[in-house]
Amino acid sequence: MLQNTPLKIMYLSPAGGSRGDGNNIFAAMAEQNKRPGTEVHIVSPPPDDGLFTHIEYRSYEAIVTRGIVRGVRAAAKEGFDGLAIGCFYDTALHDAREISGEMMVTAPCVASCEIAASLSNRFGIIVGRRKWVHQMHSTVAANGYEDRLSGFYHVELGVNDFQTDHDRTANLLIEAGRKAVELDYAEAVILGCTMEFGFHRKLEDELGVPVIDPSIAALKRAEYGALLKRQCGWKPSRKWSCEAPPEDEIARFGGFDNGEAFAGRLVVEAA
């Protein structure tokens, strides 16, 4: 059964739709990292709510969450097996899981922490700006990994800066990584922004510890969840706090289904 039907994974980048080629980077990431039998769609919400190229501010997140839950609902209806929300804030993850039907939803922070915790006892997270730390710390703690944390290390780059000067970015990330490993005794490092893509192998070489790329982690965790669903039958709970809203109420209230759910869809086929 697994061989015949590809696993379908959606990678939903909350701010990528208006970034022009923003999603190409994630398509390349998926191409390099997915299992052969997995099909990945990279999408963003349509720009109805604003032309965000990043969501570093909580108030930006509050505006794009509408697009995220609409996209998740649409993906579930299209029959996707798993979905990854492409922002290290794990924006709207709880909201998305409520409305995802039988589709598993994950996100970069929790996916990265799981991996780092399986490979080390203590890890640091390299972020762009100090601004982000409070929220990300809360997310790490809510997922139960606070005791594992050596700290957050910021390099004073914004989301849109990481891919502009690759050498400078690499140097800043390495410097932050050294601080984590040498001063704070981190045993692994997580890159705390999906736009830090492309640097994890270089950092591993320099630092000598595992370095987790969060967009890869999210994709792989979605794929793992999809495998568990297909092979073992494990689907999201719909009991108690996991209860989904009733369909007739959704229809009556509106808000979920009007207009296009996605922009900029790129498809990476199963091999």
> Considering only residues 131-190, where is the footprint of a copy of itself by CB under 8 A?
131-135, 138, 142-148, 181, 185-188
* Residue 49 in contact with a copy of itself, rule: CB under 8 A: yes
> What's the CA gap between 215 and 236, in Å, rounded?
22
Which residues neighbour 171 within 8 Å (Cβ) at sequence distance 6 or greater?
Answer: none
Cα angle for residues 124, 68, 139 (degrees, 5° grid)? 25
Single out the residue of 25, 24, 31 nearest to residue 270, CA to CA: 31
Dihedrals phi, psi of 42, to nearest 5 degrees: -105, 125
Residues 80-139 within binding reach of a copy of itself (CB under 8 A) = 92, 94-96, 98-99, 104, 106, 110, 114-115, 117-122, 130-135, 138
Q: Output the smallest distance, CB 170 to a copy of itself, in A.
A: 17
Nearer Cβ to a copy of itself (172/181): 181
Residues 186-245 within binding reach of a copy of itself (CB under 8 A) = 186-188, 201, 204, 208-210, 212-213, 216, 220-221, 224-225, 227-228, 231-237, 239-245
Nearer Cβ to a copy of itself (130/166): 130
* Residue 39 in contact with a copy of itself, rule: CB under 8 A: no
- Per the CB < 8 A criterion, the answer to whether 181 and 159 are in contact is no
Q: What is the DSSP letter of 127?
A: E
Q: Output the smallest distance, CB 131 to a copy of itself, in A.
A: 5
